[in-house]
Amino acid sequence: MGLRILSGEDNEFAALQYRKIFEKNQHSITIARDGEECILKYKKVLENCSADSYPFDVVLLDFVMPKKNGVQVAKDILDLRPHQKIIFASAFGNGVLDDASAILKDSIEILQKPFSLEFLVKKIENSCALKNIH
């Protein structure tokens, strides 16, 4: 069964590529172009979810996004679902990401850009598999 992925990515080309690669691998992906849209889409799917289920298996967030940055979006999502799996994709250096990960929780992973699309798919699939085992 494919994974449900929510991606917050303001680069239209990156977003297009995510869609292509995840759909090719039988996963469904929802794209949001900015932080606020990302939260709105998360909430919209959440409305139809039961109390113990998650609207998405993984939320893939760009660190820098218009209107609300990735960290703010992650905080809002974790307020709604504290154990939501979130993966950051960022081109920032380690120092900036370290500061962010200190604020956020263990359920968050960070991927350093640039990375291959194949690596991204494997990373997300493995993370979800591990989460299911736990």
Partner 1 sequence: MKYQKASNGFRIGASVGIIILMLGIAIALSISATYTFSNQMRIVTDFNTPLEKTIIQMSDIQKNQESVFNNAIRSLQIKDTQGFQSSESEFQNYNNLMNNQIMQAENIVKIGIDALPQEYVGSQFNLTLTKMTEIEELNTEYERLASNIFQSADKIDSTKLDILAADLKIKGESLYAKQNELLGDLESSYQNIETAVDENKQKSLTLEIIMIIAAGVISLISGYFVNQINRDLTDEVIKKTKSLQKVNEKLKKLNRLKDEFISEASHELKSPLNPIYGFVELAKCGDIDKEEALSGIVKQARQIEEVANKMLDLGKIDNSKLQISIEKFNLNTLISDISEAARLSVNENVSIKTELPENIEIEADKVRIGQVIRNILNNAIKFTHDGNIIITSSLNDNNMVEVRISDTGIGIHPEIFHKIFNKFATKSHKRENLDGNGLGLYICKGIIDAHDGNIQAYNNPHGGATILFSIPVTHHKNNEEFQRSLFN
**Residues 6 or more apart from 27 whose CB is under 8 A from it?**
2, 3, 4, 5, 121, 124
HEC string of 62-101 equals ECCCCCCCHHHHHHHHHHHCCCCCEEEEECCCHHHHHHHH
Closest CB 64 distance from partner 1, rounded Å: 5
Closer to partner 1 by CB, 83 or 113: give it. 113
Distance CA(72)–CA(108), nearest Å, equals 13
CB of 72 to partner 1, least distance (A): 8
Residue 58 or residue 65: which is nearer to partner 1 going by CB?
Answer: 65
Of the two residues 91 and 130, which places its CB atom closer to partner 1 in the complex? 91
Minimum Å gap between C-beta 94 and partner 1 is 10
Q: How far apart are the first and last CA of the chain?
A: 18
User: How far apart are alpha carbons 11 and 120 in whole angstroms?
Assistant: 16
Q: Where does this chain bind partner 1 (CB under 8 A)?
A: 10-11, 13-14, 17, 20-21, 24, 35, 63-69, 89-93, 95-96, 113-118
How far apart are CB 61 and partner 1 at their closest, in Å?
A: 13
**Which CB atom, from 3 or from 120, has the smaller least distance to partner 1?**
120
